[in-house]
Structure 1
Amino acid sequence: MHLTDVALTGFGLVGLSLASLLPGSQHIFSNPSSESTSGFSIPSVHESAVQARRVLRLENIGTLSTVFPSDASANHHDIHSTEQRPHGLGGVPIGLMDYYADCEPKSGNPTILAIDIATSFKNVAAGSNITLSLRWHPQDGHWHSAASLPRFSLVGHLEDIDDSDASKAGLATCFVKNHPDAVAWLPGNRIHTSRWVRLVVDDVYWIGGFGDRAYIGWIPLETWHNVTQKEIDACRLPGEKSTWSWADWL
């Protein structure tokens, strides 16, 4: 069913009028040719990678997606008894909010404080793959269409960061700057066992917004890594507040 059909059946002529006002409705969910009929060129794959790296820097909360292990796994009995977890969840995906920070910016691999008792990290320990999904939240508060804004998923795997490397990279300082409350569960805390991990990016899937004005598709890993810090600094996202001040000019 086409968008105009939905408008006619669900909203009548008013809905049809609204649909006709949507930007390039024939390409809302797919990429058009490199240049639209209006002459507007959609961002290239590299430009989209720069935007994604900018989102990675400015945001600090995402959704970790994993899958539950099968009931036949070695520790399923203990998990079911302590969590009251229902049976039959093997292979079922679950997405949960979690903190991250861009503490190794040259790598493009987000830093995560893994709490071993948390479901996402128990699933990974049981063999699950993992994805971190992010979306851009405009800072000016005047953006009304979330569907028109960038969002993407980083498909990867977790890699432990030893204490020496974590100290050299200043991970604790960086992470607490992004998440002040996380100071309570840094490694060595008395509440939960925790450790530093990086999500090593293996694949990137990007949706820049509506398909008539943004790239939608996979970003090659080489392109992801080739984004420079200068490009990230120069990039501005939709609805991003200006950080310029007189101090910059002086």
Structure 2
Amino acid sequence: MHLQTAVLFLASLASASNLPVPQQLFSNADGPSASWKIPTIHESAVQARRVLHLETIGTLSTIFPSTHSTENRPSDVSGAPIGLMDYFADCEPSTGNPTILAISIATSFKNVAAGSNITLSLRWHPQNGRPYSAAALPRFSLVGRLEELTAEEITAQHVAACFVGYHPDAAAWLPGNRIHESHWVRLVVEEIYWIGGFGDRAYIGWIPVQEWQNVTKEEIEGIRLPGEKGHGWGSWSSWLGLGGEDKQEQAWEL
């Protein structure tokens, strides 16, 4: 009953928007009529690394400790997860480990200091301003641990310049600032859980960390994500049931 309601809702939405409703959204696309193929795990890893390279803000998820000596927290949040927005930057392309400017007073980093594990969740935001279904776009979580960067690494990798290039406003709270204590860390990626979009046309599942680490700079630069600035929706034409880029662009006109 719920599925029927959802189908009717999407059909009515498409009708109001003059968009077709492709039947393959509600069935597996393994027949001869399918005009796309599900990306491999490695292809999905390349997409994920490009998202990491282009996006700048994600959600850090941690667990509240049972007690905290410097903070008055409700007793019932002990052991509860909390997800908070934070900045990251792709400053270690050889490893795929995101660089983070850790503010010691921030909840996420206090939880980690108290023993919490941590994940960074990201999703792709199309840049070309067209309407889109967020459920059809890539998103993923990086499970790992925080590791301090050494002074030598910070200098050799030009970490401050790289991070401020992604986040100009962060120049105000770099290490040594007068506002908050801060320090450079990397999220050492140990596991990757990927949702490439709808399951009948995108890979959904775990990406081995070796695949994540082995993606090359050339591979990252050689692909384009759906709705990336300066490019059309590409493979979205099949999702929309449209025959070509011209029709596709016309259909997205408001």
Structures share fold, TM-score greater than 0.5? yes
Out of 57, 60, 76, which is 1:61 matched to? 57
Out of 27, 39, 42, which is 1:43 matched to? 39
State the one-letter code of the partner of 1:4. Answer: Q
Q: Which residue of 2 aligns with 1:247?
A: none
Question: How many residues of Structure 1 are paired with residues of Structure 2 in the alignment?
Answer: 229
Separation of aligned partners in 2, 1:16 and 1:174: 43
Structure 1 SS opposite 2:76: coil
User: How far is 1:164 from its partner?
Assistant: 1.8
Out of 191, 200, 203, which is 2:191 matched to? 203
Structure 1 SS opposite 2:70: helix
State the one-letter code of the partner of 1:40. Answer: W
Cα–Cα, structure 1 residues 16 and 144, in superposed 2: closer, same or farther, change >3 Å?
closer
Q: Which residue of 1 aligns with 2:126?
A: 138
Q: Which residue of 1 aligns with 2:26?
A: 26
Q: Which residue of 2 aligns with 1:114?
A: 102
Q: Which residue of 1 aligns with 2:71?
A: 79
Structure 1 SS opposite 2:94: coil
Report percent identity of matched pairs.
63
Separation of aligned partners in 1, 2:41 and 2:61: 25
Determine whether 1:171 maps to 2:162.
no
Q: Which residue of 2 aligns with 1:248?
A: none
Listed one character per residue, the Cα deviations across residues 71-129 of structure 1 (whole Å, up to 9, x for unaligned) are 3xxxx24211xxxx222211100000000000011110000000000000000000000
The TM-score normalised by the length of structure 2 is 0.83
Cα–Cα, structure 1 residues 23 and 206, in superposed 2: closer, same or farther, change >3 Å?
farther
RMSD: 2.4
Question: Where does the alignment leave 5 or more consecutive residues of structure 1 unmatched?
Answer: 244-250
Listed one character per residue, the Cα deviations across residues 122-158 of structure 1 (whole Å, up to 9, x for unaligned) are 0000000000000111110103211111111000100
Separation of aligned partners in 2, 1:168 and 1:70: 39
Question: Where does the alignment leave 5 or more consecutive residues of structure 2 unmatched?
Answer: 232-254
Contact 1:205 1:219 (C-alpha < 8 Å) held by counterparts: yes
Contact 1:7 1:15 (C-alpha < 8 Å) held by counterparts: no
State the one-letter code of the partner of 2:71. Answer: I
User: How far is 1:162 from its partner?
Assistant: 1.5
The TM-score normalised by the length of structure 1 is 0.84
Listed one character per residue, the Cα deviations across residues 197-228 of structure 1 (whole Å, up to 9, x for unaligned) are 00000000111111121111111111111111
